Amino acid sequence: MPESTPTTLTEKKRKPDWLRVKLPTGEEYRKVRQLVSEHKLHTICESGNCPNMGECWGAGTATFMILGNVCTRSCGFCAVATGKPADEDPFEPLRVAKSIKLMGLKHAVITSVDRDDLKDGGSTIWAKTIEVVRKMNPGITIETLIPDFQGKWENLARIVEAKPEIVSHNLETVRRLTKLVRVQAKYDRSLEVLKRLADAGVTTKSGIMLGLGESTDEIMETLDDMRTVGVQIVTLGQYLQPSPSHLPVQDFITPQKFEWLGEQAKQKGFAFVESGPLVRSSYHAEKHI
């Protein structure tokens, strides 16, 4: 099994060659950027400092983020701003649906910040967005990357009732590191979210970041936990520190080890596996459908 590369404080400033990405260019990239700006949309591509933004936007795809761009949680890995969010925008579902139509998407990925300040956790806007996107874009398929709704299952039920083709909820890391990495989240609560979705007949997806200090055995345990609750699609990618105030990278995982981990995941029975240094939860999402 290929080994990862431990990182020192000095090496953090110098990413390995396999983590270098091209600067975004091209007509399609400019078109997507203009649409996002004109329609005042939030994307996790920008808010999350995704390294694949150039590739995805250049291919005419983006992951839309609803319910604002300020999160009520303060996860140690995430670049999205934390604080008191603005009020819900009732016109947001329409703006997202219009933009998807303008982009001519056949598959749309939608995510959101955590809205623990709202009684419904934002699930009503979630359901409305899915409804309006479908109405304005006949034949489209939808993937939703959802929060845990604090384990309030009536809110999760609204997502199930809206019937997106794929529902994704990320474990993000192994059990031991969850409290450090996700702070307000709970590993078993996330597993329960995924189980309830799978039990309702929904195609489920989850992912974890590597390089936070997890062991190979812990990765295997997490994959087993996912399969136990019925997860069918999994993503494995390298954690990259968004700023000095976020958790530091402990290891840079080699492409060879990612390939090996991907093979292990396939052997565990996942229907689709994305495993690589630059993989993120919505990377190549159009293939997962």
Q: Residue 176 is encoded by which pair of tokens? A: 């031991």
Give the chain's length: 289
pLDDT above 70 (res 190): yes
pLDDT of residue 64: 85
Classify residue 204: in a domain, yes or no: yes
CATH number of the domain residue 243 falls in: 3.20.20.70
pTM: 0.84
Is 120 in contact with 153 (CB distance < 8 Å)?
A: no
Edge-to-edge strands, sheet with 107-112: 42-43, 63-66, 107-112, 141-145, 166-168, 203-210, 233-238, 272-275
Classify residue 106: in a domain, yes or no: yes
Classify residue 6: in a domain, yes or no: no
Average pLDDT over residues 269-283: 88
pLDDT of residue 9: 38
Classify residue 73: in a domain, yes or no: yes
Is 70 in contact with 117 (CB distance < 8 Å)?
A: no
pLDDT classification of 55: cutoffs 50, 70, 90: low
Classify residue 203: in a domain, yes or no: yes
Classify residue 5: in a domain, yes or no: no
pLDDT of residue 236: 97
Average pLDDT over all residues of the chain: 85
List, for residues 113-149, the tens digit of each pLDDT value: 999 999 999 999 999 999 999 999 999 999 999 999 9
Higher pLDDT, 37 or 260: 260
Interior CA angle at 92 toward 86 and 95, to 5°?
Answer: 140
pLDDT above 80 (res 179): yes
Higher pLDDT, 79 or 30: 79
Domain that holds residue 229: 16-288
Percentage with pLDDT > 90 across the chain: 62
Higher pLDDT, 3 or 111: 111
Q: Report the number of distinct structural domains present in the chain.
A: 1
Classify residue 77: in a domain, yes or no: yes
Rounded CA separation 32/123 (Å): 27
Average pLDDT over residues 261-271: 98
List, for residues 239-251, the tens digit of each pLDDT value: 988 888 899 999 9
Average pLDDT over residues 176-203: 97
Is 64 in contact with 109 (CB distance < 8 Å)?
A: yes
C-alpha to C-alpha distances, 69 to 43, 48, 73, 161, nearest whole angstrom: 8, 10, 12, 25
* Span of 22-31, 75-84, 186-195 with lowest mean pLDDT: 22-31
* Span of 11-25, 43-57, 146-160, 218-232 with lowest mean pLDDT: 43-57
pLDDT classification of 213: cutoffs 50, 70, 90: very high
